[in-house]
Amino acid sequence: MEGIVLEAMDIAKGYGEVQAVRGISFRVRRGEVFGLLGPNGAGKTTTISMLTGLLEPDGGEIRVLGSHFTPGSRDLKARIGLVPQELALYPTLSGRDNLKFFGRIYELKGSRLRRRVEEALEMVGLAERGGDAVETYSGGMERRLNIAAGLIHEPELLFLDEPTVGVDPQSRNAIPESVEALKERGMSVVYTTHYMEEAQRLWDRVAIVDEGEIIALDTPAALIRREGTGMVRVRIGDGAEAPFSEKLASLPEVRRAYRRDGWFVVEAADARRAFVSIVEAAVRMDIPVGAVEILEPNLETVFLKMTGKALRD
């Protein structure tokens, strides 16, 4: 189909008893950054593995760049790139030599290989460190080199699986910046993460994945508009849970309240007002408040509201 670079149609995968992906469908448009957002174990990596031909789905169909796709589709695989969640780099080789190695896997050679290595280093901001051994790199630099390796053969569609995991917050920004540069060059990207900060800014559309299923799919702004709600989380001293729970339910500012992982999670149209009346109620009831925080509407609270779970534990 015109303008669609990837179609997943009801794909599923189980590992023995574990149904990791339970029939997922979505389409990625040319030039868009499409996000998969979900907690640990949601099935993101399993989905990406099927979409890049590393795993055969148990059911469903995949179309890549307009054609039926299976693990045997060699020509199509040459047109996609994968940046895996686990780093796959040779520590004793330089960044440049690592990229040459990956380029040769894609049958690049000679001047084209040399040009692509330099372009890929440039694109992830490692041109100056390309000659240094990877073992001297920071975690963030390793991640960026991993991305460069996935780009070396100029794929039309790039899969990034948790590209910022293990990267210190300081250099975490460099990765979304590299992805933005790729998008500007017209590349289509599928990007998984459970970090919100980069997701909201980068993604054109997002599929929220939970327990092997897509539970919502839209632009981040539309999801936040539709499902977003202010939230307050409160932790109180032991013993007063029952009366506090009852009190929360009776407050006019509170839309819904429930307990999760030792916290009271409160949904409210206006989180700031709710915050004030919750604290007032606790003080009046002489209940010690251990911690209380306001969560602004964002994809994290969308997820929390839809599943009752936090994205990161």
Ligand X SMILES: Nc1ncnc2c1ncn2[C@@H]1O[C@H](COP(=O)(O)OP(=O)(O)OP(=O)(O)O)[C@@H](O)[C@H]1O
Least Cβ distance, residue 37 to ligand X (angstroms): 10
Q: Does 38 bind ligand X (CB under 6 A)?
A: yes
Phi, psi angle pair for 182, to nearest 5°: -65, -40
> Binding mask 184-203 vs ligand X (x if CB under 6 A, - otherwise)?
----------x---------
Stretch 46-75 residues interacting with ligand X (CB under 6 A): 46
Residue 40 is a binding residue for ligand X (CB under 6 A) = yes
Residue 43 binding result from ligand X, Mg ion, none, given CB thresholds of 5 to 8 Å by partner type: ligand X
* Amino acid found at 306: M
Residues 253-312 that bind ligand X (CB under 6 A): none
Window contacting ligand X (CB under 6 A); options: 44-52, 143-151, 179-187, 296-304: 44-52
- As measured in angstroms, the least distance from the Cβ of 198 to ligand X is 15
15 contributes a contact to ligand X by CB under 6 A: yes
Q: How far is the C-alpha of 40 from the C-alpha of 88, rounded, in Å?
A: 21
Name residue, tokens 């839309």: 255
Is residue 18 at the binding interface for ligand X, with CB under 6 A as the rule?
Answer: yes
Residue 220 interacting with ligand X (CB under 6 A): no
Least distance (Å) from Mg ion to the CB of residue 165?
9
Shortest distance, CB of residue 45 to Mg ion, whole angstroms? 3
Q: Counting contacts by CB under 6 A, is residue 12 touching ligand X?
A: no
Least distance from ligand X to the Cβ atom of residue 303, Å? 13
Residue 196 Cβ vs ligand X, minimum distance, rounded to whole Å: 14
- Among residues 3, 41, 59, 243, which is the contact residue for ligand X, using CB under 6 A? 41
Give the residues lining the site for Mg ion (CB under 5 A): 44-45, 85
Nearer to Mg ion, 87 or 292 (CB): 87
Q: Does the footprint of ligand X cover residue 43 (CB under 6 A)?
A: yes
Residue 93 CA, chain-centre distance (Å), reads 29
Q: Which stretch binds ligand X (CB under 6 A): 12-20, 98-106, 119-127, 145-153?
A: 12-20
163 binds ligand X (CB under 6 A): no
**Side chain identity, residue 141:** M
**Which of residues 55 and 108 has its CB atom nearest to ligand X in the complex?**
55
Please give the Cα distance from 84 to 119 (Å, whole number).
Answer: 20
Nearest approach in angstroms of CB 89 to Mg ion is 18
Q: Identify which of residues 140 and 163 has a Cβ nearer to Mg ion in the complex.
A: 163
- The answer to the question of residue 100 lying near ligand X (CB under 6 A) is no
HEC secondary structure over the chain: CCCEEEEEEEEEEEECCEEEEEEEEEEEECCCEEEEECCCCCCHHHHHHHHCCCCCCCEEEEEECCEECCCCCHHHHCCEEEECCCCCCCCCCEHHHHHHHHHHHCCCCHHHHHHHHHHHHHHCCCHHHCCCEHHHCCHHHHHHHHHHHHHCCCCCEEEEECCCCCCCHHHHCHHHHHHHHHHHCCCEEEEEECCHHHHHHHCCEEEEEECCEEEEEECHHHHHHHHCCEEEEEEECCCCHHHHHHHHHHCCCCCEEEEECCEEEEEECCHHHHHHHHHHHHHHCCCCEEEEEEECCCHHHHHHHHHCCCCCC
| Whole-angstrom distance, CA of residue 65 vs CA of residue 6 | 6
Which chain residues interact with ligand X by CB under 6 A? Answer: 15, 18, 20, 38, 40-46, 85, 162, 194
